Chain A
């Protein structure tokens, strides 16, 4: 494993750092406060080619690797976890399955506009009664001539309402259970497609999280992704990669909170000295930093494995498990280090703590990650 970033990766990182400082950080608090999807940021990300960062150049992407993508999500999330997850969901859950499982025609038609950022991508698997247990899918796709007629509801869909292209899962043969699930590429302007309830959330409040409602939605047969019955496999593989993105988001949140805490304990004086001089706090910070660095290694390791075409399911699960729990712990302690100020919205720390929580839940809860790891080691 090579611990050095390539020059390309370094420059991508530098660029995203600058982008984040100038474009993302200044509006992060407002986006959270108003629960506003930062459309303008997405447009800016599009202009600098960030939306297709890991998509091959032949499909209009930048052709960078998984680690470059991770660096981008990490840096964005240091200041704004909302922006981090917009990119992560778009890239890992929107672009990747088409890139991996799509036909040439599907790639031309759908991957290109996603890679250019002209359209935003999203992923619809979860249903009211099918969360961790995806086999409980109640969305049904019935073949009808050249189309599938799809009926059902998806919930908690990141980028819902903002995305133009959705990867949707539906039961094509309920008798086969998991093997009866199929994946479809659905455009937001398909008749019968609508956006339902928009969630109000504890954290990542600027990101759009909505319900998707399909009422007699007619999806052309050429929009079937992979083959009938491959849906579950596609979903699971996609989420394996998605977890790397979320792990990077969690890592970024933790690092952001850490940076701010380091600055604060040097500035804040009590008992006539900076509070960073107190060993009780120093020990706390040493633990925080150690866990952050451990997370970073896990996240980069998973990304490198994916880039190199090695198995990464277990690595991604471990990275997400550890990074998300670290993010929660570090942000909680960061609030503590900031004292009363940290509890107020004058400082971004309370927002970061709220944002951190979701990383332990979405794209597989921490418990699911443990299931994945255990299944792999006990195979």
Chain B
């Protein structure tokens, strides 16, 4: 079986802090990590390989040169090869252009049975790239996969819903987007780390390596644009609510609603 796992290097958004004076992001000391949902995707592919050692796993990412680090991590965890799509021409891509680029790279890789993607990346939280790759490639998808197994050459998954799950069966080729609850990913192994750095397992593809018009990639290939980005209002100093209990509860409700904390998802 041939598996391609799409992964992304992301800043650990849990570690992001805001400059209290300037209100800007403090990026210093924010570590870059392999996106958690993607790590679950890779782990699931590795479990297939544990069971069926002839399985070949390619980890694929798009990003600046240092995104190679997540490919190294992927190989150190057990993937066979890694491909980095890196070119200034790819930069500024929205999900549409990103999925175009990744889909072209997957077509170039050619042979695959399963494409695993993480459901969403913690820096953007869009959950769009996986399904859009599926659409570009014209293959079926199942998103929010929380359980996966192979059964008589078929693929069985549980797709998480808000209030339960669906049991779904599909056949390769198929694209699956995984949530981090799917499994507990392994650590990179120390021998794997040595192998990843010492053996030439990671390739870099630039714009010239893909058969794709420049109008389909990067900023030019992106229907959506960031018009403005800003830091949300910082929470001020704590506040002790006044009034009767009813009034206090009403004020609390209002504040929770304003801060978008009354949703249930």
Binding site for B on A (CB under 8 A): 7-8, 11-12, 15, 18-19, 47-50, 52-53, 57, 61-64, 68, 72
Contact = CB atoms under 8 A, between A and B. Distances in A.
Nearest to B192: A49
B147 to A, nearest CB: 22
Contacts, number: 50
Given A11-B72, A11-B76, A48 B186 contact: yes
A4 to B, nearest CB: 15
A294 B4 CA distance: 47
B188 interface: yes
A26 to B, nearest CB: 14
Given A11-B72, A11-B76, A62 B186 contact: no
* Most A C-beta atoms less than 10 A away, residue of B186, B188, B192, B193: B193
B20 to A, nearest CB: 15
A8 B69 CA distance: 11
Interface residue tally of chain B, by bracket? 10 to 19
Contacts of A49: 189-192
Given A62-B193, A64-B190, A64-B194, 5 more contacts: A11-B188, A15-B188, A47-B186, A48-B190, A63-B191
Contacts of A72: 190
B9 to A, nearest CB: 14
B76 A62 contact: no
B189 A47 contact: yes
A19 B72 CA distance: 18
A59 to B, nearest CB: 12
B149 interface: no
Q: Is the interface of B mostly helix, strand, loop or mixed?
A: helix
Contact of B197 (A7, A19, A52): A7
Given A18-B187, A48-B187, A48-B189, A62 B197 contact: no
Contacts of B194: 8, 57, 62-64
B240 to A, nearest CB: 18
Contacts of B76: 11, 15
Contacts of A57: 191, 194
A108 B188 CA distance: 26
A15 B72 CA distance: 12
Contacts of B186: 47-48
A238 B232 CA distance: 59
A63 to B, nearest CB: 5
Contacts of B190: 12, 15, 48-50, 52-53, 62, 64, 68, 72
A256 B159 CA distance: 42
A62 B188 CA distance: 12
A8 B197 contact: yes
A57 B76 CA distance: 15
Interface string B69-83: 000110010000000
Contacts of A48: 186-190
Contacts of A62: 189-191, 193-194
A196 B186 CA distance: 37
Interface string B55-79: 0000000000000000011001000
Given A7-B197, A11-B72, A11-B76, A61 B187 contact: no
Nearest to B73: A11
A57 B72 CA distance: 19
B39 to A, nearest CB: 11
A52 B189 CA distance: 11
30 contacts: A7-B197, A8-B193, A8-B194, A11-B76, A11-B188, A11-B193, A12-B190, A15-B187, A15-B188, A15-B190, A19-B187, A47-B186, A47-B187, A48-B186, A48-B188, A48-B189, A48-B190, A49-B189, A49-B190, A50-B190, A52-B190, A52-B191, A57-B194, A61-B191, A62-B189, A62-B191, A62-B194, A63-B194, A64-B193, A68-B190
